[in-house]
Amino acid sequence: MNPIWKAVIGLSALIVAANCLNCRKCSVGVFGSCFFGSDVTCDNATQSCYSGEAKFNATGFLTLQTRGCLDSDLCGLTLTGSLLNAAYTSTFSCCTKDMCNGATSVQLSLTVALGAAVLSLLSGFWEL
């Protein structure tokens, strides 16, 4: 292959990589604290960073948070469902600047994080 074409292809790849969006990622967040948080570079198909919340109707106070990359078509949606017979409502809000969905991270063990989430869920069942 001609060296000029190699240079054009290499430069194009760098430009595409430079245009990828960087977002905060949070797999699980409870009470405003993110467990297992990190920074992530979205792929080229993803145009938005998002912050999502799932509110459990039975407990009234338990809200799980998540953050990361999301296709813009899913931004602004409100979804409903149930987990272990507990109804929840999820919402997704998006932004399009690097790290615009900022979140603080707290590194806790998986056992502690899951235990806190389960206890919060169960407290709603005991009130019923």
Q: pLDDT tens across 21-77, in order?
A: 999 999 989 887 888 899 999 998 888 999 999 998 877 778 889 999 999 888 999
The pLDDT of residue 116 is: 54
CA 29 to chain centre: 9
The DSSP output letter for 100 is T
Q: What is the DSSP string of 24-55?
A: EEEEEEETTEEEEEEEEEPPTT--EEEEEEEE
pLDDT at res. 63: 87
* Domain architecture of the chain: domains with CATH: 22-127 (2.10.60.10)
